[in-house]
Each structure stands twice: as structure tokens, then as C-alpha cells.
């Protein structure tokens, strides 16, 4: 499969409005759990302030410092931490549902309807949940390795002679952490795509291993696919979030507009995740077809050589006659008249008597 065509199909086929709306609704669930304790804290701090309307539009430095100081309270920080923990659990539970809906998009060639998306999400929820649990292993390994990198960078910064040397170690550790997390996410998305390319699969561990092997066999296309989808979907999401920050939220209309822009950013993240699953499914199919073709070619017996053509009897080749060595022939009869036999041969009378008479002994 041609690489640009793979990227175009992944992004184009994943852009389905019904699935993106499903991602928006799914992202609202953990967001609500995280926002509920924050709303209570901010309500206690800002509801009775005479500058409440101005603070809703934008927080100045003094108000931000007061709010951060309030978060230092044990009761406030505990409720906020509980809300964020609940949001993480909700995201872990909702994520497999959305990934199961994306599997149907990766399998189908046409636009998928909402009922089919919900049916696929429920049917594949168990598999996608097991993949999510399996994906915690590479993420934990990435966290452990990145921790070792930061520790090494911190030790090197203590022995550094200049500030630039100390900062360089931390930047390299951050870059290595981002790369490890990116590769871990690629492995998890490739494992999800294996269920779309091979629907008969049941084991999440084997699917994860197959996804890792796919990344090893096709590293350039896999990394290129991950970067392309990340730049497309993630870039759209970041641009929309920056636009949302510039919207002055001074009334119900502007608040609603900012909310809609934020949901479009969530849809951009869903587009990125779906496009990656679609692309890995296409890449897995192409890789399986290529390996099957090569194995079939390797197991074919060698074709026998065609038999040599049998020359027809009574035919001669002019080329072979020209290349044959010369053959010495006896001289013609007319060239040696001494050896010519007489035309009529008459035996002598003595010879006739010797041949016709009886033999006599010498005695």
C-alpha cells in the first residue's frame, strides 16, 4: 500500500460526524466528574464577590493567587483530587466503548449509522477494555524509564558547570519521555486495530503482541501514521482551544460559544484516535497479504525445464551444416583413369579350366 494513500484514507474515512458526536458525548462524562468539585470550590469563593462577572470573564493575577491558596486547604484539595480520580476512572470506562465504535468504522467501507456504532461499541467493549488494561503495561514501563532519565538528568545537572548544560539534560529527558509515551500509545492503538483487521481475535495480549510486531515490521509507516494523525487531529484541537481562550465570556451567548468550541476540540481528539485505528487496520491487512504472498511464493515447487524440441526426421539445419568440420571425400572416378575397371572382363581359358576342372593332388 502506498504510504500517502494510507494517510489520506485514514483521515478521510475516520471523519464521520456520528462517531465524532459520540466522542463528544463520551468526553463529557469524565469532564462532568472533574468539574463538579471545582464548581463547588469556585462557587464558595466567587459567588459573593462584587467582581464575580469580571472574574468569570477572566481571572486576574490577584484572584488566581487567592484561588490557588484556597486549594492548599486539605478539605478543598481532597474533594478536587477525588473528582479528578473519578474522572480518570470514568475515562478508563468510557474509552473502550468509544474504541469499540471506532472498530466498525475501521472495518466498514461506507459511512456507519448511529445504531450500528452503538451495537459495535457494546459488542467489542470487553475486548477493548482488556486492551486498555494491557496498555497500562507499556505506559508503566515508559513512566519507569522516564523516571530514570529524569534522575540521570538531575544528577548531571548537579555536576554541570554551566546553566545551559544543566537545562540540556532536563530537555533531553523530557524529549525521551514524550517519545516513549508516543510509542506506547502506538502499540495500544495497533492492538485495537488488530481486532478490526482480524475480527476472529479474542485475546488482548496476543493482539497487543501482534501490534508490536506490526510496528517492528513497518516502523516508518507506523510512526508516520502516528505523527500524521497526531498533527491533524491534535493540531485542530489545540487551535480550537486557543481560539476558545480568546472568546470573552461575558454573557450566556459567549459562554455557549466557548463551550461549543471546546467540544469541537474534543471531536478533534476523537478524529485523531479513530484515524489511527483505521490506519493501523489498513496497514495490518496489507502486511498480512504481503506475508501470505511471500510465503506462498516460497513454498511453490520449482517449475520443470521445458523438454528440448525433437528435430523432425529428414530435415537438416543450414547453420549446423555450415559450422560442421569439412569431411574428406574420395576423388571422383574420372580423376583416376588408371584404376578404372574395364568395361568387359573376359577370363582366360586356363582360368576357366582351373575353376571348372577337378582338383588334383600334388602326387
Q: Convert the pLDDT of each residue in 26-38 to its tens digit.
A: 999 999 998 888 8
Residue 360 confidence (pLDDT): 46
pLDDT confidence tier of residue 140, bands split at 50, 70 and 90: very high
Residues 105 and 19 sit within 8 Å (Cβ to Cβ): yes
Cell of 224: 508516520
Task: Tell which wins on pLDDT, 312 or 61.
Answer: 61
Residues 135 and 183 sit within 8 Å (Cβ to Cβ): no
Sign of CA dihedral 199, 204, 205, 209: positive
Give the Cα separation of 103 and 280 in Å (integer): 11
Which of 4-18, 305-319, 336-350 is most confident? 4-18
Give the Cα separation of 235 and 223 in Å (integer): 17
pLDDT for residue 240 is more than 80: yes
Q: Convert the pLDDT of each residue in 129-138 to its tens digit.
A: 999 999 999 9
DSSP string for residues in 247-286:
S---SHHHHHHHHHHHHHHHHHHHHHHHHHHHHHHHHHHH
Task: Tell which wins on pLDDT, 325 or 278.
Answer: 278
pLDDT confidence tier of residue 354, bands split at 50, 70 and 90: very low
What are the CA-CA distances from residue 312 to residues 154, 315, 316, 317 (Å)?
90, 6, 9, 11
Lowest mean pLDDT among 49-53, 86-90, 91-95: 49-53
Q: Convert the pLDDT of each residue in 189-216 to its tens digit.
A: 999 999 999 888 889 999 999 999 999 9
Q: Which candidate, 153, 148, 187, 151, places its Cα nearest to that of 170? A: 153
Q: Convert the pLDDT of each residue in 155-185 to its tens digit.
A: 888 887 777 777 888 888 899 999 999 999 9
Phi, psi angle pair for 132, to nearest 5° = -65, -40
Q: Convert the pLDDT of each residue in 101-134 to its tens digit.
A: 999 999 988 889 999 999 999 999 999 999 999 9
Classify residue 224 as left (phi > 0), alpha (psi -120 to 50) or beta.
alpha
State mean pLDDT over 74-98: 87
pLDDT for residue 355 is more than 60: no
Residues 101 and 118 sit within 8 Å (Cβ to Cβ): yes
Residue 97 confidence (pLDDT): 95
Residue 6 confidence (pLDDT): 86
State mean pLDDT over 333-352: 50
Residue 5 confidence (pLDDT): 85
Global pTM reads 0.74
Q: Convert the pLDDT of each residue in 276-316 to its tens digit.
A: 999 999 999 988 888 778 777 667 666 666 666 665 545 55
Residue 351 confidence (pLDDT): 46
End-to-end CA gap in the chain: 115
Residue 61 confidence (pLDDT): 65
Q: What is the mean pLDDT of the chain?
A: 81
Residue 246 confidence (pLDDT): 86
DSSP structural state of residue 338 = G
What are the CA-CA distances from residue 59 to residues 47, 64, 69, 267 (Å)?
14, 6, 14, 27
Which of 189-193, 241-245, 314-318, 345-349 is most confident? 189-193
Amino acid at each position: 500500500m502506498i504510504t500517502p494513500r494510507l494517510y489520506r484514507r485514514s483521515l478521510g474515512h475516520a471523519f464521520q460526524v456520528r462517531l465524532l458526536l459520540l466522542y463528544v458525548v463520551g468526553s463529557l462524562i469524565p469532564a462532568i466528574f472533574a468539574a463538579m468539585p471545582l464548581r463547588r470550590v469556585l462557587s464558595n469563593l466567587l459567588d459573593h464577590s462584587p467582581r464575580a462577572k469580571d472574574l468569570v470573564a477572566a481571572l486576574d493575577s490577584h484572584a488566581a493567587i487567592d484561588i490557588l491558596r484556597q486549594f492548599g486547604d486539605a478539605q478543598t484539595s481532597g474533594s478536587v483530587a477525588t473528582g479528578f480520580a473519578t474522572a480518570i476512572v470514568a475515562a478508563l470506562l468510557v474509552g473502550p466503548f468509544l474504541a469499540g465504535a471506532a472498530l466498525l468504522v475501521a472495518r466498514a467501507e461506507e459511512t456507519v449509522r448511529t445504531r450500528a456504532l452503538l451495537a459495535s461499541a457494546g459488542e467489542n467493549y470487553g475486548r477493548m477494555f482488556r486492551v486498555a488494561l494491557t496498555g497500562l503495561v507499556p505506559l508503566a514501563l515508559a513512566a519507569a524509564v522516564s523516571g530514570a532519565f529524569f534522575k540521570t538528568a538531575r544528577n548531571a545537572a548537579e555536576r554541570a558547570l554551566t546553566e545551559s548544560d544543566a537545562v540540556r539534560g532536563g530537555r533531553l529527558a523530557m524529549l525521551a519521555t514524550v517519545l516513549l509515551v508516543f510509542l506506547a500509545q502506538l502499540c495500544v492503538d495497533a492492538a485495537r486495530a488488530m481486532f478490526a483487521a482480524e475480527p476472529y481475535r479474542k485475546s488482548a495480549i496476543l493482539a497487543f503482541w501482534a501490534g508490536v510486531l506490526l510496528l517492528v515490521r513497518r516502523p516508518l509507516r507506523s510512526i508516520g501514521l502516528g505523527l500524521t494523525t497526531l498533527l491533524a487531529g491534535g493540531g485542530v484541537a489545540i487551535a480550537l482551544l486557543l481560539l476558545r481562550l480568546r472568546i470573552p465570556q461575558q454573557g450566556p451567548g459567549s459562554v455557549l460559544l466557548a463551550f461549543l468550541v471546546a467540544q469541537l476540540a474534543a471531536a478533534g481528539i476523537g478524529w485523531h484516535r479513530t484515524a489511527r485505528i483505521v490506519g493501523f487496520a489498513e496497514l495490518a491487512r496489507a502486511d498480512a497479504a504481503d506475508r501470505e504472498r511471500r510465503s506462498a511464493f516460497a513454498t511453490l515447487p520449482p517449475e520443470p525445464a521445458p523438454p528440448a524440441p525433437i528435430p523432425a526426421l529428414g530435415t537438416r539445419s543450414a547453420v549446423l551444416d555450415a559450422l560442421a568440420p569439412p569431411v574428406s571425400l574420395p576423388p571422383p572416378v574420372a580423376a583416376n583413369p588408371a584404376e578404372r575397371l574395364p568395361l568387359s572382363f573376359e577370363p582366360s581359358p586356363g582360368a576357366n579350366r582351373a575353376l571348372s576342372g577337378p582338383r588334383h593332388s600334388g602326387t
